């Protein structure tokens, strides 16, 4: 990753100095200042040493500390991730249950058809469709930007609605299929027969016994997808001008801001590892057969 950004054509110094510059002395000074005149290997170890001391460095472009830039954008991304996950769960779990219970009927085909649609349709296109419909045609919702929840909750929800729906439906599509398959699998287990033989009403059989088992793999996928959302959804954040980590990463790439790209990628990796750890720990509570050692 570190060396990959250097393979991309373009140079941060060119961007900093503007188009058509010719001052080679300034250019050399800038390169020396940011350590860009060093071999890549040396740059890497310098950077690694700084990271280990908690120093993510500063943006080459805005000179702001990278950690602060990430910290500024992260709440927006976190909010969007939560909202998207809720949208996904609210859609996918009932849809998956319905698909499993009414297997082979129109309801099943309907739910799975929607899921297939959700997987097939690209995010950016669906996002643009939403903007066209809600903002352009109905003039109901703002098409871009973000309002902090605490300053104006209603405006925040209005701004949040479309990006969350875009990301949430995409995530719901995969989850619906997973929940459906998992419910079918669990419904054929021996314990379901035992529970029915006890005279437990079917809604409790499905809603408690089966669902609790089906949730074990589902929570893993929700957790990992949520981890993915926290890294920032580049396309969706760009379309809705959502000031999150994804948008930051896109900007950093445009500006060849090596330091910022590195910082964002490293941050995303740390978040992902952390979320995976949380998912593993959550197993302990979902599945009594798993013991923490």
Q: Which is nearer to another protein, 178 or 230 (CB)?
A: 178
Task: Please check whether residue 61 is in contact with residue 13, taking contact to mean a CB–CB distance below 8 angstroms.
Answer: no
**DSSP state letter for 38:** S
198 binds another protein (CB under 8 A): yes
226 closest CA partner among 89, 69, 68, 71: 89
193 scored as a contact of another protein (CB under 8 A)? yes
Q: Of 32-40, 71-79, 152-160, 191-199, which part binds another protein (CB under 8 A)?
A: 191-199
Among 213, 218, 225, 236, binds another protein (CB under 8 A): 213
Count the residues in the chain: 293
- What minimum distance in Å lies between the beta carbon of 277 and another protein? 20
Q: What's the half-sphere exposure (Cβ side, CA atoms, 13 Å) at 166? A: 28
Applying the rule CB under 8 A, the residues between 224 and 263 that interact with another protein are: none
Residue 197 found at the interface with another protein (CB under 8 A): yes
42: left (phi over 0), alpha (psi -120 to 50) or beta: alpha
Enter the DSSP assignment of 68: H
The answer to the question of residue 46 lying near another protein (CB under 8 A) is: no
189 belongs to the binding site for another protein (CB under 8 A): yes
The residue assigned the tokens 């057969």 is 289
Closest CA to 223 of 142, 151, 283, 270: 283
Rule CB under 8 A: is residue 19 a binding residue for another protein? no
What is the 8-class DSSP label of residue 23?
A: -
Instruction: Rule CB under 8 A: choose which of 81, 175, 195, 239 binds another protein.
Output: 195
Rank residues 24 and 188 by Cβ distance to another protein and give the closer one: 188
- Answer whether 238's CB lies under 8 Å from 187's CB: no
104 binds another protein (CB under 8 A): no
| Contact positions vs another protein (CB under 8 A) | 189-191, 193-202, 209, 212-213, 216, 286-289
């Amino acid at each position: 990753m570190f060396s990959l950004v250097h393979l991309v054509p373009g140079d941060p110094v060119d961007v900093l100095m503007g188009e058509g510059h010719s001052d080679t002395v300034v250019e050399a000074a800038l390169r020396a200042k940011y350590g860009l005149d060093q071999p890549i290997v040396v740059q890497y170890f310098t950077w690694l040493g700084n990271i280990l001391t908690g120093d993510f460095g500063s943006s080459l472009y805005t000179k702001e500390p990278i950690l602060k830039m990430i910290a500024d954008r992260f709440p927006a991304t976190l909010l969007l991730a939560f909202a998207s996950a809720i949208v996904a769960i609210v859609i996918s779990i009932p849809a998956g249950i319905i698909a499993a219970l009414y297997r082979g009927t129109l309801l099943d085909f309907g739910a799975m058809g929607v899921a297939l649609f959700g997987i097939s349709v690209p995010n950016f296109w669906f996002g643009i469709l939403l903007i066209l419909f809600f903002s352009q045609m109905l003039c109901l919702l703002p098409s871009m930007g973000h309002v902090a929840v605490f300053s104006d909750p209603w405006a925040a929800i209005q701004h949040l609605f479309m990006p969350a729906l875009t990301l949430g439906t995409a995530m719901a599509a995969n989850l619906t299929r997973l929940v459906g398959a998992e419910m079918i699998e669990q419904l054929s287990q021996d314990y379901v027969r035992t529970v029915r033989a006890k005279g437990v009403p079917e809604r409790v059989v499905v809603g408690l016994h089966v669902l609790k088992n089906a949730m074990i793999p589902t929570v893993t996928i929700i957790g990992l997808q949520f981890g993915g959302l926290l890294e920032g959804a580049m396309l969706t954040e760009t379309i809705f001008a959502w000031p999150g980590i994804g948008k930051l990463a896109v900007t950093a790439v445009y500006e060849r801001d090596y330091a910022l790209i590195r910082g964002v990628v490293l941050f995303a990796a740390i978040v992902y590892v952390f979320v995976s750890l949380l998912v593993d720990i959550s197993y302990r509570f979902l599945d009594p057969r798993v013991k923490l050692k």
